[in-house]
Structure formats: C-alpha cells, structure tokens
Amino acid sequence: MRVSREQMAENRQKILDAASRLFRAKGFEAVSVAEVMKAAGLTHGGFYGHFRSKDDLIACALATACEPPPNRKLDIDAFIKGYLSPRHRENVAGGCPLAGLTAESLRQTPEARAAITDGMQQQLERMTAALQDKGVADPRQAAIGNLAALVGGLMFARACDDPQLSDELLQQTRAWIEQTNQHNSSTADT
Amino acid sequence: MRVSREQMAENRQKILDAASRLFRAKGFEAVSVAEVMKAAGLTHGGFYGHFRSKDDLIACALATACEPPPNRKLDIDAFIKGYLSPRHRENVAGGCPLAGLTAESLRQTPEARAAITDGMQQQLERMTAALQDKGVADPRQAAIGNLAALVGGLMFARACDDPQLSDELLQQTRAWIEQTNQHNSSTADT
DNA sequence: TGTACATCAGTGAACGCGCGTTCACTGATGTAC
DNA sequence: TGTACATCAGTGAACGCGCGTTCACTGATGTAC
C-alpha cells in the first residue's frame, strides 16, 4: 500500500529517530533492522526502500543524533551541570550520542566515523565559543578538555554498578571541571 | 586428546588473553567464540570446558584485562603522556580496557559490570596515590577528573577520522590535564 | 473536475549465513594395584 | 617401577535460532487525458 510523499518522508524520520534512540540504548550490533522498523511503526521489509543497508542506517542515524538541538547559545555551566546529572546518566536512549556511541563508532564504516567526527567538531565549536565568552584562556583547549572529561565521567558513572561510586563520579568530575575552568578564567582569581 | 592439568590452565589463560585483545579491538558482540578459540590455538568445541557461556568469558576476560600490570608505583606524568600518545591510540587491542570496553560494559551482565567497576576503582586508587605524592590538593577528585579526561580524550582521538584533529585532541587533552594538575599542586605556583 | 492507469511505499514470507551451544567421540593423562 | 584402566580436555560435526537482505505481491497515490 503506497503512501504519500510527505508520509514517506515522515516515515523515514521516524525510522531515524527510533534507530538513534535504540542505538544509544543498546549499541549498533544489538539492535536489529526489524526492531528499528517495529519501533517506527512499520514492517521490516520496507526498510530497504529508505536505506541501502544497516550500515547506511547507522551512518544516517549518527548524523541525525549529532544534529545540535536548537542553534541558541550554549550556557557552559548549565551544560556541565545537566551533562553530569543523574537524569542524564539514566537517560541513555535520549542522552548525548557522543557518550554512548563514540567508542563503537571507531569500528564502523568510514561514513559513520565521518558523522561522529562532525558531531564532535560541532560540539567543540559550540563549547569553545561559550568558554571564550566566559573569559577562559585558550578556549579551544578548554573545550577539548571539558568535553573529554564530561564524556569520560558520564561513561564511568553509567558503567559503574555501585550507585554511591556512580554519584561520586558525577559530582567529582563536575567539581574538577568547574574548578579548572575557574582557574583558567581571567575574572575568577580576584 | 586429554592434556595435562598445567596445559589446561595454560590454555585457559591463552583463551582469556586472546579474548581480552579481541574484545578490545572489535567489541564483545563482534567477536565470536570460535574466533577467540582459534586465536588461542584451539577448536571451538572445547570452549565450554573452560567457561559456562560467552557472557561468562566476557566477565572473566574483563577481570583479566583490568588486572594492574605490575604493582609498582605509578608515575602520573609518564602515565598521562603514554596514555594520550599516538602509540596508545593505535594500539587498541593492547591498550587500556577502560577506554575500549567501558561503554559496552554497561549493557553486559552484572558480573561484567562488577569487573569493570573493580578495574575502575583500582585505577582510581593508583592515580589518587600518585597525585597525592605529587602534592595535588584533593587527590581523589583529581584522579577522577584525570581518568575521565584521559579516557574521553583517547576515545575521541581514536574515533576521529581526521588525523590532524586526532593529534590535536591528544595534545590538547594532555596539556589541559597537566595544567590543571599543576594549578592544584601545592609546589607549582611559586 | 472526473476517469483510467502506471507507479511505487509498504507487506510479509522466504533465503542463506554465522552465531552460541551441544554432543558423541578420541586418545593422552592420571591413578590404582 | 610397571601395567591396566578410568577419566576427561580437546575435536569437529551438528543443532536451532535470529540476523540482514530479497522479492513477489498489494493497494493507495500521483498523473495523463
């Protein structure tokens, strides 16, 4: 049963959204094409009308997931606080794709690696601008350090099976990053 | 053909070592039991004489990989330098298991999560002691921050498909961590 | 605007394949005498 | 120490299953008149 052009475009987006969430929650390999299609409200046979292969879907879903939400300015302090929060730790499926999928992406197709690299670059640019506005010296270096620590800290807090240690990891990573940013800020040491 | 007890123990260790390397290189799901056994110089049928299941192997291999190499003191500066080096970036199979496997571990069995949590704790203790010796204030917090940034930075450098950006990520993450440790060190600001 | 037909998005059965796991068998090891 | 036999680590064929992918079919959509 053929559907309208708009409906087809909408279905494609549904597939991408479902894939993006499922991949973040379970990893690329643990999610089947049929599972994605079911989550999108379709049957598995229609998949190849939208994508060339599962690898193609992975690359497209990564690009979708890495799209910046709106284009408004980033508040770096609020971002850090939210990033290293229990809420973000619990919300794997809807959380930062860099935290959930970067490690797996390095074994994917060149297209997937290009998508994650692009997402990384965009995130770094946004953070660099935000840190520069805050008066942090060498904002590019600070953005790289901040992002590395954020992603590492969140990943550890998620993997950890001890809730107390997990909370400590979130809090201490956050405190350490914030303190470092203050040290490097021109208006802080007065 | 039965083998001696010592030979059997040796074979078990060979399986664990092969699994540890293959898992780090390709991830848990992309490695088959037969592949591990072949890498260990055995056939796949004998696997279940050593382990209850693939999940059991994953947990045991994680514990093996997380064992600290020797028990000598950690030189934090040399550790950071080596960790964020092109050599370590290239050596995924033989590199830090925390960097390669933490993200995937959160979807594994409770036993696997316990193993990675234990490896994390041990690494944090070693780094805390080393940072304390260096005179860093709040060494526990510094260890958590250092480890998060190290793992995040290495992961990004590995996933990145642009060699120039990858090098920058290694260098800037390293410079950022070292600078932070200096700021927090009692003997540095003179 | 209304009709007739070609197009094609989605359906669901079917495919080949590799996976984790099982099992009957083999033959060297370990033990009892 | 030497012999006879039970044990059991490792072998390789076989299993059931779920995966990615294909394909003949369906029926609503889009278009030509």
Cβ neighbours of A179 (radius 10 Å): 19
Residue B190, pLDDT score: 42
Question: What six digits make up the tokens of B47?
Answer: 């696997």
pTM of the prediction?
Answer: 0.95
Residue B109, pLDDT score: 98
Residue B26, pLDDT score: 97
Assess contact for A189 and A183: CB atoms under 8 A: yes
Per-residue pLDDT tens digits for B22-33:
999 999 999 999
Rounded distance, CA A116 to CA A65, Å?
9
Query: For chain A, where are the alpha helices, taking DSSP H only?
Result: 5-26, 33-39, 54-66, 76-83, 86-90, 97-105, 110-133, 139-159, 163-183
Closest alpha carbon to A108 in A116, A96, A120: A116
Strand nucleotide closest to residue B54 (CA to C1'): C20
CA of A40 to C1' of C1 (A): 38
Per-residue pLDDT tens digits for A153-177:
999 999 999 999 999 999 999 999 9
Beta carbons of B168 and A144 less than 8 Å apart: yes
- How far lies B186's CA from each of B82, B107, B121, B133, B189, in Å? 24, 41, 25, 11, 7
Beta carbons of A104 and B27 less than 8 Å apart: yes
Average pLDDT (B65-89) is 91
Residue whose pair of structure tokens reads 């199979």 in the numeric block? B93
pLDDT at A1 over 90: no
Per-residue pLDDT tens digits for B14-70:
999 999 999 999 999 999 999 999 999 999 999 999 999 999 999 999 999 998 777
Interface contact B142, partner A, CB < 8 A? yes
Q: List the single best residue of A22, A120, A155 to mutate versus B (max B Cβ within 10 A).
A: A155
**Residue B153 with chain A: CB contacts under 8 Å:** 144-145, 148, 152
Question: What six digits make up the tokens of B81?
Answer: 């330098």
User: Using 50, 70 and 90 to split pLDDT, how confident is the model at A80?
Assistant: very high
- Phi–psi pair at A134, nearest 5 degrees: -80, -5
Per-residue pLDDT tens digits for B107-124:
999 999 999 999 999 999
Beta carbons of A106 and B159 less than 8 Å apart: yes
Closest alpha carbon to A174 in A155, A157, A149: A149
- Please check whether strand C approaches the CB of B44 to within 7 Å: yes
Residue A187, pLDDT score: 60
User: Using 50, 70 and 90 to split pLDDT, how confident is the model at B187?
Assistant: low
Rounded distance, CA A51 to CA B93, Å?
32
Question: What six digits make up the tokens of A189?
Answer: 């040491």
Closest alpha carbon to B108 in A32, A105, A159, A20: A159
Average pLDDT (A60-69) is 91
Per-residue pLDDT tens digits for B131-175:
999 999 999 999 999 999 999 999 999 999 999 999 999 999 999
Distance of CA B41 to the CA centre of its chain: 24
User: Using 50, 70 and 90 to split pLDDT, how confident is the model at B188?
Assistant: very low
Rounded distance, CA B34 to CA B48, Å?
11
Question: What six digits make up the tokens of A111?
Answer: 């297209």
Rounded distance, CA A14 to CA A122, Å?
24
Assess contact for A173 and B145: CB atoms under 8 A: yes
pLDDT at A4 over 50: yes
Residue A189, pLDDT score: 46
Residue B73, pLDDT score: 85
Residue B38, pLDDT score: 98
CA of B18 to C1' of C25 (A): 27
- Please check whether strand C approaches the CB of B176 to within 7 Å: no
Rounded distance, CA A70 to CA B189, Å?
42
Rg of chain A in Å (alpha carbons): 19
Burial class (CB in 10 A: 0-12, 13-18, 19+), A187: exposed
Looking at residue B74, the DSSP 8-state letter turns out to be P
